[in-house]
C-alpha cells in the first residue's frame, strides 16, 4: 500500500546533529520516581496524585545513586489488570450488581499489592531505559523516538537528582519552534502525501462509543506487533509494541454485555470503514486513574474519556493528505495532543502520530504508518 517513502534530507540530519538535547527544553519538569519495592497500588496512587502517565522505577544503591530498572506507566498497570482473570471476573460481578463498588475495590486490592518491579517488561517499552547525556545531539534521541520509544531520561550517572524526562512531545515542540529554519523548512513545506505519510490502512481498527472503556483498552492493548530490536538494553532480540490510540467511531451495533465485550479481544478486531469519528481512546486517558475509580472502566468508552478529561470531548484534530508537515506539527503542538487523524474525501483514512512525524527527521523509520502499511488488521 502507498508510495515509496521519502528519506530525510541530509540537511535535516545536520540540523539535529548540531542541537544539544539539553538545549531543546527550556524548563525541564521535576523527575518523579517510584521505588522498585513499592506496591502497584502505591504507584497507581502516585500517578493519580500528580496526574502523570509514567514513573521511572529505581533501586537505590549505597551511594544514593539511582539504578533505573524500567519506566512504568498507567498502561502497564492496566494491562496487568485487564488480562487478569480475577480482575475481569470482579468487573463482571460489579456490572451485574453481584458486587458493590466497595467489595470490588476490596477484591482488586490484592492484585495491587505486588511490588511494581514485578510488572516491568509486560510491555516492551517499560524495560527500555535510556539515559542520554545533555550534550548528546538531538538526532540521537529522535532516532529512538522514530522507533516508537516515547520518553528517555536526560542526565549523567553522577548526578541522579538532576535527571529529567524528555518526551516525543518535547522533541516535536522543539521542531515547532524552528519550522522556519533554513534546514527544517524544506521538509516542513512538503505535504503528508509527498512524504509518504498519508497512505493509511485499508481497514481501520476502531471502537464503538457503546463499548465499555475496559473492552476498548483491551482492544487497544491487544493490537500488537513484533519487530527486531535495535536496543542493546533490552537483552531480547525482538520488541513487542502496542498502539497508543484508537478512534471512537459512530456505530449502530447493539450494546453488548461485559463478558462478550471483554471476550472480543481474542477475535479479529471489529473493522469500520465509513463511520464518523467522535473521539479517541488513548493511553493518555489513563491520566488520573487510581484504585478508587477503577470501577469507571465499566462506563461506555466515550463517557469514560469525557470523565477523565473533566470536560466534553472537543472536535478531533484532523489533517488531510494535502496538509504540510509543518501545518500538521503546528496542529498537534497547539492542541497539545499526540496525534492527528488523517481524513481523505470525508472519511477517516489513518493517523499521524508523533512517531510518524519524528520518523521524517531521522534516518530510522519505524512509524505506526509503516506498521499499518505492512499489516492486514
Bridge partners (DSSP) of residue 57 are: 34, 70
Q: Nearest CA to 128 among 70, 57, 76, 77?
A: 70
d(CA 84, CA 206): 23
d(CA 197, CA 205): 18
The pLDDT, as a whole number, for residue 352 is: 92
d(CA 155, CA 133): 5
DSSP track, 8-47: PPHHHHHHHHTSBGGGS-SSPPPP--EETTSBHHHHHHHH
The pLDDT, as a whole number, for residue 314 is: 66
The CA distances from residue 184 to 11, 28, 194, 328, in Å, are: 8, 24, 16, 14
DSSP track, 319-351: E-TTSBHHHHHHHHHHTT-SEEEEEETTEEEEE
d(CA 170, CA 24): 8
Backbone phi, then psi, for 185, in 5-degree steps? -55, -40
List the grid coordinates of 95: 456490572
139 burial class (0-12, 13-18, 19+ CB within 10 angstroms)?
Answer: buried
The pLDDT, as a whole number, for residue 202 is: 63
Per-residue pLDDT tens digits of the chain, which is 377 residues long: 333 445 455 556 678 999 999 999 877 888 999 999 999 999 998 998 888 889 999 987 544 556 899 999 988 999 999 999 999 999 999 999 888 998 998 888 888 999 999 999 888 888 889 999 999 999 999 988 888 889 999 999 888 888 999 999 999 999 999 999 998 999 999 999 998 888 766 667 889 888 999 999 999 888 765 444 444 444 444 544 567 888 888 754 333 344 444 544 444 444 444 567 778 888 888 888 888 889 999 999 989 988 887 777 667 899 999 999 999 999 999 999 999 999 988 888 888 999 889 988 887 655 444 444 443 33
The pLDDT, as a whole number, for residue 316 is: 83
Q: Provide the whole-model pTM.
A: 0.81
Helix (H, G, I), strand (E, B) or coil at 207: strand
DSSP track, 115-152: BGGGGTTSSGGGG---EE-TTSBHHHHHHHHTTT--EE
Q: Nearest CA to 327 among 193, 204, 200?
A: 193
d(CA 371, CA 225): 8
Cβ neighbors of 24 (< 8 A, separation 6 or more) are 138, 166, 170, 171, 174
List the grid coordinates of 201: 490502512
Amino acid at each position: 500500500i502507498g508510495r515509496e517513502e521519502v528519506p530525510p534530507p541530509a540537511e535535516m540530519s545536520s540540523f539535529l546533529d548540531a542541537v544539544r538535547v539539553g538545549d531543546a527544553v527550556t524548563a525541564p519538569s521535576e523527575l518523579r520516581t517510584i521505588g522498585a519495592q513499592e506496591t502497584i497500588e502505591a504507584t497507581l496512587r502516585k500517578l493519580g496524585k500528580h496526574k502523570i502517565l509514567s514513573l521511572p522505577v529505581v533501586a537505590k544503591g549505597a551511594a544514593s545513586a539511582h539504578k533505573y530498572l524500567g519506566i512504568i506507566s498507567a498502561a502497564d498497570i492496566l494491562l496487568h489488570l485487564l488480562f487478569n482473570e480475577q480482575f475481569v471476573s470482579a468487573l463482571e460481578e460489579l456490572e451485574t450488581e453481584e458486587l458493590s463498588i466497595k467489595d470490588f475495590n476490596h477484591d482488586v486490592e490484592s492484585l495491587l499489592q505486588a511490588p511494581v518491579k514485578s510488572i516491568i517488561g509486560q510491555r516492551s517499552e517499560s524495560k527500555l531505559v535510556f539515559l542520554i547525556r545533555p550534550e548528546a545531539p538531538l538526532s540521537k534521541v529522535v532516532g529512538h523516538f522514530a522507533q516508537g520509544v516515547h520518553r528517555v531520561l536526560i542526565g549523567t550517572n553522577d548526578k541522579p537528582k538532576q535527571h529529567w524526562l524528555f518526551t516525543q512531545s518535547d522533541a516535536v515542540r522543539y521542531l515547532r519552534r524552528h519550522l522556519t529554519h533554513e534546514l527544517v523548512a524544506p521538509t516542513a513545506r512538503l505535504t503528508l502525501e509527498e512524504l509518504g505519510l498519508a497512505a493509511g490502512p485499508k481497514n481501520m481498527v476502531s471502537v464503538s462509543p457503546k463499548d465499555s472503556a475496559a473492552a476498548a483498552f483491551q482492544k487497544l492493548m491487544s493490537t500488537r506487533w513484533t519487530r527486531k530490536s535495535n536496543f542493546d538494553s533490552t537483552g531480547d532480540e525482538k520488541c513487542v509494541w502496542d498502539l497508543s490510540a484508537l478512534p471512537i467511531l459512530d456505530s449502530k451495533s447493539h450494546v453488548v454485555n461485559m463478558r462478550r465485550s471483554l471476550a472480543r479481544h481474542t477475535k479479529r478486531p471489529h473493522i469500520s470503514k465509513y463511520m464518523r469519528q467522535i473521539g479517541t481512546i488513548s493511553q493518555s486517558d489513563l491520566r488520573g486513574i487510581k484504585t478508587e475509580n477503577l470501577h469507571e472502566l465499566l462506563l461506555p468508552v466515550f463517557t469514560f474519556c469525557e470523565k477523565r478529561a473533566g470536560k466534553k470531548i472537543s472536535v478531533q484534530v484532523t489533517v488531510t493528505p494535502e496538509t504540510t508537515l509543518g501545518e500538521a506539527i503546528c496542529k498537534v503542538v497547539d492542541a497539545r495532543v499526540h496525534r492527528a487523524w488523517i481524513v481523505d474525501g470525508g472519511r477517516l483514512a489513518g493517523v499521524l502520530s508523533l512517531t510518524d512525524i519524528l520518523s521524517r527527521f531521522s534516518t530510522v523509520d519505524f512509524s505506526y504508518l509503516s506498521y499499518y502499511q505492512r499489516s492486514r488488521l
